[in-house]
Structure 1
């Protein structure tokens, strides 16, 4: 793919397939998810959606907790993939 003067970076809640993100050079910043065991895992990187929903079916009373990445994670991600212009949009339920 031809390099452009910008890079698309989204959070992992965008639900784009990994293959599509790779083919289109889309950077993903993970949402962190933890279950009762307390271990936070990165959405999109450490588990699949199938594994997530299977866990919820297998443990119906164990509700997941989520956490946004710290700004240092976002900035590090942007710095490692950024070549020119980066436009950040806040994640909002109002979109």
Structure 2
């Protein structure tokens, strides 16, 4: 019973901050400045992952290959779906 309670509690804590904002602003028209700010959210998420791609070790730069392998398909999907606000 405790495991079920913890699982349901974790689900509520995780889902609420991700779903409630969409439900609350679904019928509200946001100002242009807010829409512009929100348009960069995907790009910032990508940048946070890309930041971990290069590691500085003493006097050399090393690639974190596991991150590089994640970035390649992410970039391909982002370009194909145009879900990131990257302007060419």
State TM-score, norm by structure 1.
0.24
Answer 1 or 2: which has greater strand percent: 1
State TM-score, norm by structure 2.
0.25
- Larger Rg, first or second structure (1 or 2): 2
Higher RCO (CA < 8 A, seq sep 6+): 1
